[in-house]
Structure 1
Amino acid sequence: MRRIHPDIQDNPDIVQAYAYPESRTWLRLNMVASADGAAWLKGRSGGLSSAGDRRIFQTLRGLSDVIVAGAATVRKEGYGPVKPRESWAEIRAGRPEVPPIAVITRSIGFDLDDELFTDATSRTIVITCESAPHERRKEAAKRADLIVAGDEGVDMRQAVAALHDRGLTRILCEGGPRVNAQLSACGLVDELCQSISPMLVGGGAARILNGEPAQVGLHLSQVLEEDGVLFCRYTREPSS
């Protein structure tokens, strides 16, 4: 892997390249897309990924306090609990050995007996809203840490504030596109890490944001490259 922006460097330190800013809250989106902007191939993001993308993916997880994903992404991508990794020992010093996964869901319409809830090293978090079925909320509270944010739908500002209240200030969001769009529309996104796969997909695949309009100015702070895949790090412009 090499860095091609802002300067050229072979084999950069990936942990240093993606370090969070000190002493402030930070919400980072991490997504992969094709060269024509598709967020998935045949319904899943894995077909767009590469060895370098998977290394960065694991590094970003290790650096984070919490991993946020929408329920649809959790189902489609087959999420399981995050497992401890030896390579994380130093970067997670003083924190739990793995970050929890926080699932955003309006209806809690997934299997609460799945290993994501029964075998998690760090207890999974369910973020839902008041309109979620009462019995499902009760069951979720038995198997996960429950956050109720919003009335008819999940209020992203309330959800992020609740994570901050738990000391989870370095937030990594892995999508999907609808969750990304909601976070961006609320002005909550500080950074976008986007892997661009050298592939044309076409068809009806969503973009990495799909839903509410958002116009957020971004600064291209870093580009890495490996095997034709670009790893772009964008940060929000101060005025946005």
Structure 2
Amino acid sequence: MTAPIRRFTSENTHDLDDAALLSAYAFPEDRPWLRMNFVASLDGASTLDGASGGLGDAADQRLLGLLRRPADAVLVAAGTVRHEGYGAMILEDEAVAWRRERGLPDQPVFALVTRSLDLDPGSPLFAEAPVRPLVFTTEDAPHDRRDALAAVADVVTAGRRDVEPARVVEAMHQRGLHKIHGEGGPSLFGDFVAADAVDELCLTLSPTLTAGESGRIAHHERAVATTMRLASVLHSGDELFLRYQRRDERG
């Protein structure tokens, strides 16, 4: 039987407000969940001029803020934090009020992944953090850096030479952090895909062709196929917001 191909049409043409978007992207309530959020160009680039921010626009940034809002934790690799210029993870007042109404802590936990612990403990990332961050690292990480960061963050060993996704997820669940929103980068995403740990991908498809040498949104030394299903498609002008979830169920 020939696979059907259909036109994409929308029955609802009105603009979606924040409440509608939060409902559309709600975490499942009956299980732990880890989703990743990325932006990519039409030709598969994950960055423009070295940063993913060059591919997104105001709509993409709006959705990113809403995706963070219900999360227990925001998970990011240290390299992405440096390249994208992250500061402390602080939600706006409106988001804080929304979380309070639902019995959530004011702010999600900022969780960072780094083998080298190449992070400045005096940076705003830690000094201005409203919640003590989590830092996942390895047994082989430099002990002097571990001691310095331990003064401003909870440093957790999650592997010997590499940070193991399963141990990261387990440690977060033990701390009551069950709804995890990840923002990259590609190596972190690839590691979690290879470990079969990703439940959802929220992908902004930028209406841009870039060429260049930018990598994909995920890379790993081995290929692993995780079958996903299309959960929703939204758009802002020519920009698409795709949401994919795992097709199979895992306990």
Aligned residue number for residue 230 of structure 1? 240
Identify the match of residue 11 of structure 1 among 15, 21, 39.
15
* Identity over aligned pairs, percent: 41
Identify the match of residue 45 of structure 1 among 52, 66, 83.
52
Moved runs in structure 1, 4+ residues, more than 6 A?
A: none
Residue pair 1:176, 1:208 contacting (<8 A) in 2 also: yes
The within-5 A match list for 1:51-62 is 51-62=58-69
How far, CA to CA, are the matches of 2:9 and 2:129 in structure 1?
A: 38
Residue pair 1:6, 1:222 contacting (<8 A) in 2 also: no
The within-5 A match list for 1:55-204 is 55-88=62-95, 89-92=97-100, 93-204=102-213
Aligned residue number for residue 207 of structure 1? 216
Normalising by structure 1, we get a TM-score of 0.94
Deviations 1:175-220 (A, max 9, x none): 0000000000000000000000000011110111122422111101
Secondary structure at the counterpart of residue 147 of structure 2 = helix
Identify the match of residue 216 of structure 1 among 214, 222, 226.
226
Residue pair 1:39, 1:45 contacting (<8 A) in 2 also: yes
How far, CA to CA, are the matches of 2:226 and 2:9 in structure 1?
A: 21
The CA deviation at 1:86 is 2.6
Aligned residue number for residue 3 of structure 2? none
Q: 1:184 to 1:5 in 2, by over 3 A?
A: farther
How far, CA to CA, are the matches of 1:34 and 1:91 in structure 2?
A: 33
The CA deviation at 1:134 is 1.2
The CA deviation at 1:5 is 7.0
Residue pair 1:104, 1:127 contacting (<8 A) in 2 also: yes
The CA deviation at 1:8 is 3.7
Secondary structure at the counterpart of residue 69 of structure 2 = helix
Larger-Rg structure: 2
Residue pair 1:5, 1:222 contacting (<8 A) in 2 also: no
Secondary structure at the counterpart of residue 63 of structure 1 = coil
How far, CA to CA, are the matches of 1:235 and 1:82 in structure 2?
A: 26
Secondary structure at the counterpart of residue 188 of structure 2 = helix
How far, CA to CA, are the matches of 2:72 and 2:62 in structure 1?
A: 18
Q: 1:239 to 1:215 in 2, by over 3 A?
A: farther
- Report the count of equivalent residues: 237
What residue ranges of structure 1 are gaps of 5+ in the alignment? none
Secondary structure at the counterpart of residue 210 of structure 2 = coil
AA aligned opposite 2:179? R
